[in-house]
Amino acid sequence: MPMQMDERKKKILRAIIQDYIMTAEPVGSRTIARKSDLGVSPATIRNEMSDLEELGLIEQPHTSAGRIPSDAGYRYYVDALMPPSTLSRENKARIERETPKKILEIENIIAQTGKLLSQLTNLTSIVLSPKRGRSHLSQIYFLPYQPGKAIMVVVKENGVVENHIIDVDEDITIEDLRHVADIFTCKMKGYALDEVKKSVLHGIYDELTRQKNLINTALEMIEPILNDDQDHDKVYLGGTLNMLNQPEFKDLSKIKNLFKIFERDECLKKVIEPNQDGLRVTIGGENNLEELQGCSVIYATYRENGETIGSIGVLGPTRMDYAKAMALVDFMTKKLTTILSGPHR
Amino acid sequence: MPMQMDERKKKILRAIIQDYIMTAEPVGSRTIARKSDLGVSPATIRNEMSDLEELGLIEQPHTSAGRIPSDAGYRYYVDALMPPSTLSRENKARIERETPKKILEIENIIAQTGKLLSQLTNLTSIVLSPKRGRSHLSQIYFLPYQPGKAIMVVVKENGVVENHIIDVDEDITIEDLRHVADIFTCKMKGYALDEVKKSVLHGIYDELTRQKNLINTALEMIEPILNDDQDHDKVYLGGTLNMLNQPEFKDLSKIKNLFKIFERDECLKKVIEPNQDGLRVTIGGENNLEELQGCSVIYATYRENGETIGSIGVLGPTRMDYAKAMALVDFMTKKLTTILSGPHR
DNA sequence: GTTAGCACTCGTCGAAAGAGAGTGCTAACA
DNA sequence: TGTTAGCACTCTCTTTCGACGAGTGCTAAC
C-alpha cells in the first residue's frame, strides 16, 4: 500500500525545511526532536525521516549526514505546508516609503521597484519591463531636426514620451509634417502598437492619397515606432551580489555559471515569462535551465489598466524563505499595478 | 652609493614582468635564464634579482618562491620598459566593424564602446558618459501633454534629443508656449547647459517682461534641463565577469569586495575621473581605494568638438597586459572622439 | 664579475589518524 | 503495534605529518 502523509510526517517535513532554510545545514533527527513540539524521541523521527526519504521529499547528501529537502519537498512545502505569511510592518512601511510617488519615467519606477525587492528579500530581483508594443498611442508630433531628418515625438496613453529621429524628404515642409502627424494621431490613437497592422495602415494610406508624394515617406516614418526593439522587453536585475552571500554559492564555478545566466537577457526572460497571471513559483529543476539547478524563482505579472504588460520576481537558492519572498513579490506586484494604473497615467 | 638600473637589470625586470603577466606565477631565476637571451646563469640572475628587490621593483611572496613585480615595478615597466604596442590587425578590423556608424542615441554608442573594449581586453571596462551639462543647446520646443503639463523637447547640438515633462499654468495657450520656446531657443542657443547662468537667464527675463504672467512659469520650466541629474554622469560597466577568470580573484572574498565597488558609481567615477587629458595609468595602490589594491586602471578622456566630456577605461589586475590595454584604450578613445565630433552631430 | 654547488626555507600534496555527527538496525518496552 | 534505548557503522571534516619540489642565498672557485 502506498505510504501516506499523516499529520506527524507533515510536521516533521515542515520542521526540516524550515530549519534547513535558516541554517543551510543538513538537519538531523536530534535537532528535530529537540525543536519540534512532538514529544517523541530522535529514533522515532528517524523512522519517519526514512519514510519521507522514500517518498522523495527529502534526501541525504551522504550516509552519515542529516537530511535536506529535495525539490519535491520544497514543492510540497510551498503547496501545502507553508504557513501563510504576511509582510512585517517594517517591510510594508519601507515599501510605502520608498515607492516612487511622483510621476517618473516608467523605466525608473521599474528599476527602483526591482532594487527595493532585492533589498527586502536579500535575493536577486528580476524585472521584465513593460512590453512596449502593448502601450496605446495617444499623440504623434513631428519637429524639424536637420535637413532630411525630423524628430518624431510619440506620446502614449500611459504617459510615456518617446523620441525617434527619422528620415524625411528634404523638400518636405513643416506644414506637410504637421498634416502627416495629424493623420497618424487621428488614425492610430487608442491602438496598441501591436495592433497597428494592416487595417490601420490602410486607413492612413487612404487618407494620404491626396498628397501622393507623402505616402512612401509617411509609411517609412512610423516604422521605427512599430518595430523599435531597442528597449523592447528590457530585463532589470537587482541585488545580484546577494547571491555571493548565499552559502550554496561559495563555489566559484557555480558563481560563474549563475552570473553567465545573469548576462543572458533571453534566458532571464524565459525564466519569468509572463504567460500566466498570478503568483508563480518555480523550484529547482522545474525550470529547464541547466545552470539554474539549485535555484528557485518566484514571480508574478503586473498589469496596467487591466492588461498584463510585464513581470517581476526574485531568484534565489532553492533553500529560500518562500513564505516571505512570496508575500513580498505579491505585494510589490500589486503595488506596481496600482502605480502604473494610477490617476495620472 | 645608490644602485643604478643598468641595461641588464632592465632586461631582467622586463622579462620577469612579461612572464608574470602571462603566467600569473612567481617567476624564478631559472626561468629567466632560460627564456632571456642574456647568456648568463641563474645564479647571476639571482644576484640581479636581489638588487631589483632592494630597489623595490619586485618582491617575494615567500622565501622560497620566485619573484613577482611590485606596484613600483609595474610603474617602471609602463614608464620605461614596455615595448610600444600597436593594435593587431584583427583588433583594428573588429573595432572598425563593430563601431556604430549610424547616428545612434549617444547612450548606445557609449554602452557599445564599453562592451567592445571589455571584450577586446578581457578586462572590465568603465565608461563615464558625457557630462550632460557640457552639451550645447540647439533648440527648444514645447508640446501639449495634459492639462497643466507640457512636454519640453530639448535638442542639443550634438544631436541628442531629450524630453522633459513640466508643469505649466492651466490657462497657458499653445501660442504662449511657442513664444516662450522661441525666446529660450534664441537666448540659449549655442550655450552649454552649465553656462546658462544668470546673464542668460537675465536676458530671458528681460524678453519676457512683456508677458508678465509668463515669467514665473517660464523660469520654472527650464529648471529641469539645468539641473536634471537623473542621467548625470552615468557610469557604464562592461565585462565584469572577466574578472572572475583572473586567477588573482579565485578568492571569493576578493570578488565580493571588487563587485561591491562595481556597484558604487561614485567610486568608479573617482577612479576614471577625467580631470586631465591624455592616456593615464593608475597602478595598484596608486588609486586610493582600499578595495582596488591589486588592480590597475587605464583610462583616457574623450572629447566632442574639442571639449573633454567624459572618459573611458579598463580595470584589471595589476598583472595585466599594459601594452595591449593601453593601445586599445587609446585607440577607442580616439575613435569615440571621432564619432562624437562626426559630421552629423 | 660570473658560476657551480649546496644547505635551507617554505608551500603544496597526499596519506593517515582522530573526532564528530548522524544513521540504521535490533531488541526491549508499553 | 508504535516507540524507544543502545550500539555498531559510515562518512565527512580537520589536523597532522612527512615527502617533494621549486627557488633562494651564500660561499668558494673560476
Which bases of chain D come closer than 7 Å to a protein CB?
Answer: 3-6, 9-12, 21-27
Residue B121: the pLDDT is 97
Q: Which of A155, A244, A260 is facing B255, going by the closest CB pair?
A: A244
Based on the fold, state whether residues B164 and B176 are members of the same structural domain: yes
Cell representation of residue A33: 526532536
| Strand, coil or helix: A249 | helix
Q: What is the mean pLDDT of residues B26-48?
A: 94
- Can you spell out the DSSP letters for B170-182? TT--HHHHHHHHH
Based on the fold, state whether residues B237 and B118 are members of the same structural domain: yes
Based on the fold, state whether residues A169 and A245 are members of the same structural domain: no
Cell representation of residue A168: 524625411
In a domain, A153, yes or no: yes
Query: Which residue, A165, A311, A36, is CA-closest to B106?
Result: A165
Based on the fold, state whether residues A178 and A289 are members of the same structural domain: no
Chain B residues within 8 A of A105 when measuring between CB atoms: 230
Please state, rounded to an integer, the average pLDDT across all residues of chain A: 87
Residues of chain A predicted below pLDDT 70: 1-3, 101-105, 197-199, 208-219, 224-232, 342-345
pTM of the full structure: 0.88
Q: Check if B160 contacts A (Cβ < 8 Å).
A: no
pLDDT > 90 in chain B, percent: 52
Based on the fold, state whether residues B49 and B180 are members of the same structural domain: no
> pLDDT at residue B43 above 70?
yes
- Which position has the grid cell 523512522? A47
In a domain, A72, yes or no: yes
In a domain, B149, yes or no: yes
Based on the fold, state whether residues A239 and A322 are members of the same structural domain: yes
> B147-182 burial string, b = 16+ CB within 10 Å, else e?
eeebbbbbbbbbbbbbbbbbebeeebeeebbebbbe
Based on the fold, state whether residues B204 and B154 are members of the same structural domain: yes
The alpha-carbon gap from B46 to the nearest alpha carbon of chain A, in Å, equals 37
Q: For residue A167, what are the β-bridge partners?
A: A149
Residue A137: the pLDDT is 84
Which residues fall inside 7 Å of strand C, measured at CB? A 26-31, 42-43, 46, 49-50, 53, 60, 63-67; B 39-41, 43-44, 47, 61-65
User: What is the tens place of the pLDDT at every residue in A173-183?
Assistant: 888 888 888 88
**Which domain, by its residues, includes B153?**
133-226
Cell representation of residue B332: 577607442
For chains A and B, CB pairs below 8 A equal: 58
Residue B192: the pLDDT is 81
User: What is the tens place of the pLDDT at every residue in B67-99?
Assistant: 999 999 999 999 999 999 889 999 999 998 988
Based on the fold, state whether residues B268 and B209 are members of the same structural domain: no
Residue A193: the pLDDT is 75
The alpha-carbon gap from B252 to the nearest alpha carbon of chain A, in Å, equals 7
| Strand, coil or helix: A178 | helix
Query: Which residue, A5, A32, A15, is CA-closest to A82?
Result: A15
Based on the fold, state whether residues B190 and B112 are members of the same structural domain: no
Cell representation of residue B274: 577625467
Given a contact cutoff of 8 angstroms between Cβ atoms, the answer to whether A298 and A326 are in contact is yes
Based on the fold, state whether residues B122 and B183 are members of the same structural domain: no
